[in-house]
Structure formats: structure tokens, C-alpha cells
Structure 1
Amino acid sequence: MKRHILLMVLIIGVGLILTPFTLDAQMITRVAVVDVPKIYTAFFKDSAAVREFEERSARVQAEINKMTEEIQALQKSKLEAEAAKDSSRALQLDNEIYKKTEYLKEYYRIKTAELEDQRKKLAQSSSFLQQVYNEIKIVAESEGYSVVFNIKDTTGIIWYSPSVDITDKVLQNLLTKAGKQ
């Protein structure tokens, strides 16, 4: 009988000692993702800085379209010269097409990098980020998330379920607080 009581006390004692460890093991870290550039675009689309960025993007695109049309016109002229058996004119047009195509590639690369840099600077303005981060914190805490990743800045995220994307909730809260909704 003493053995049974001693064994029971031992089992209960071990159970009490291990209980904190099992409780810790049962705690699950919830992870969320958020798309900060999407929030920026949707929330600040009416700001002067964003309008200026969009106008600059449109000007760059218009210039790219213009250069593309010029190259296409030169290609058409080259085909006509080749059909007329004017090889010197065709060669001259071919050189011009090559130069304009190379210029267009370089222009596109440079302007795309400039626009991306400007977009990043706009999205990283301290007042904007502070407001967004505060709202992310509120949503994450109210939803029970322990960690929130920016899906555009983190290359380590391979896959995520849309159910952990809190972008729309954060955006909705920001728009509501700003009186835009």
C-alpha cells in the first residue's frame, strides 16, 4: 500500500514538474504577412507626392512608347528598303534601329531604377511608416499574431496562406481612422 501511495505521489510530482514545460510546448506562434507598398499605394494615392510619382511614371512610359514607335517605323522603312533592293539604305536603317534599340534598353533600365528608388523613398517616409506600423501592431495584437513580415521586403518567405495576410485589415483601419471610408 505504501508503495502505491509513494508511486502516486511520485507520478503527481513529476506531472507537476513537467506541467510548465508542456504548457510552453503548446504555445503556438502565429505569423502574419502584410504588403506595405500596397497599403501605401491605396492609402496615400491622393497625396501630392504620389500624384507626382504617378505623373513621372506616365511621362517615362510615354517616352518609352514614343521610342518604340520610332523603332517600329524604322523597321518598316528597312523592310521597304530591302524590298526595293536598296541594301545601303537598309544597312543604314539597320544601324539606326540597333542604336535606338540599345538606347531604349538603357533608358528603360535607368528610368525603372529611378522610379523604383522614388517609390521606395515614398514608402519609407517616417510619418507614413510610423502610422502604418502602429496600425499593423494594433491589428496583429488584436488578431493574436506574434510576428508580422512585410511580404515585399522578405526574401525568406516562400509561401504563405492568404488567411495570414492582414494587409486589407490594416488598410481598412487606416482608411477608417482617416475618415476616407
Structure 2
Amino acid sequence: MRKLSFFLSVYCLVLLVITSLQAGEMKIAIVDMQKALNLSKAGKAAKARLDKKFAKIKRDLEQRQQELDKLKEELRKQSLMLSLEAQRDKEKEYERKLRDFRDLYQDYKEEMEREQYEAVRPIFQDIQEIAEKIRKKEGYSIVFDKNTSGVVCYSPAIDITEKVIKLYDKEWSNKEKK
């Protein structure tokens, strides 16, 4: 499926290039959306907010993991001294707490993924708008995302990532001041 998608992308690109060459000169640009997200002021601010929140979640999970480890160690140490019934009760308690921990871990993981998506989505949209402004202003026929377009190699001269970051940071700073 990936090969088919890749070949269709290449085929469409070839058709686009041929058509554009017949119509006149075609200008192509590349933007690294992930790099623009990571290096932009808005992206760094979003990452800092998420890191702070995720650190709390990580501490909570680590504390619960330590409690589980302690309970397991107690169970191991007391196993010879406990009656069979008491040992089963302790094992059931441990299994219940382990199951609760795994459920909590999954809930936290889903929450973190959702929050990361919600934090990053508007930034990606803004970056796309900036790339479109640059495309129009500088007369590019097409702008590819370096990471998703299937482009294998290109000249650094057509990479507009730094322009996108600078313009986005400028616009984002102006929004923040208002």
C-alpha cells in the first residue's frame, strides 16, 4: 500500500512537472513542517507547556509504580509466613492494583496524545498558512512538506523552512502582544 501511494505521488509529480514545463517555468519549494514546529516560538512554548503537564503525570505514575514494587516485595517476603488464604488475598490485591495501574497508564497516554494533538494542530495550520503566503509572494508553483511528500533529495536552495519560521515567529509575536 505504501509503495502504491509512493508511486502514485511520484507519477502525479512527474505529470505536474511535465505540464508546468509545457506551460512555463515551475518553481518548487520544500518546507520541513516538523522542524518549523520544533523551532518556532509557538512550537517551543507549546512543548514547554506540555512538558510541564506531562512531568506531573510522569511523577504520579512513578509513585504508583514504586507502591506496586513495594507491595510485590512485601508479598515475596511474607509469602512463607502467610497462610494460603492470606497469601491469595495479597496476590489478588496486587493483581487488582497492577490492573488499575495499567488502566491509569493507558488513560494518561491517551490524554497526553490528545493534548499534544490539540496543542500542535493550530500551530501546523498557522505554519501552512505562512508557507502559502510565501508561495504566493515568491511565485512558487508548489510547496512540498519534506517529511510527507516522498521527496528523496533536493537542493537546499529550495528549502524555505527558515523563511517560514521567521515569518511565523514574527506574526506569532505580534499576536501575543495584542
TM bucket by the smaller chain? 0.5 to 0.7
Question: Equivalents in 1 of 2:48, 2:40: separation in Å?
Answer: 12
Runs (5+) with no aligned partner, structure 1:
1-19
Tell me the amino acid that sits aligned with residue 34 of structure 1.
D
Shift of 1:120: 1.5
Structure 1 residues 94, 107: closer, same or farther in 2, change over 3 A?
A: same
- Give how far 1:107 is off: 1.1
- TM-score normalised over the length of structure 1: 0.57
Of residues 65, 80, 84 in structure 2, which corresponds to 1:68?
65
Aligned with 2:144: secondary structure?
Answer: strand
State yes or no: 1:111 paired with 2:102: no
Structure 2 unaligned runs (5+)? Answer: 1-17
Q: What percent of counterpart residues are identical?
A: 13
Q: CA RMSD in A?
A: 4.3
Aligned length: 152
In the TM superposition, residue 81 of structure 1 has moved relative to its aligned partner by 1.8
TM-score of the pair, normalised by structure 2: 0.58
AA aligned opposite 1:171: I
Higher relative contact order (CA 8 A, sep 6+): 2
What's the counterpart of residue 165 of structure 2?
171
> d(CA) in 2 for partners of 1:88 and 1:34?
62
1:137 to 127, 132, 138: 132
CA contact (8 A) 2:75 2:91 kept: yes
Q: Looking at CA atoms only, which structure, 1 or 2, has the larger radius of gyration?
A: 1
Please report how far the alpha carbon of residue 144 of structure 1 lies from its aligned counterpart in structure 2 after TM superposition: 5.5
Matched, 1:56 2:50: no
Alignment of 1:91 with 2:91, yes or no, is no
Q: Confirm or deny that 1:43 pairs with 2:57.
A: no
Q: Which amino acid aligns with 2:33?
A: D
Deviations 1:59-112 (A, max 9, x none): 111111111111111111111123x35344432232122111111111111122
- Letter of the aligned partner of 2:127 in structure 1? V
Equivalent residue number for residue 24 of structure 1: 22
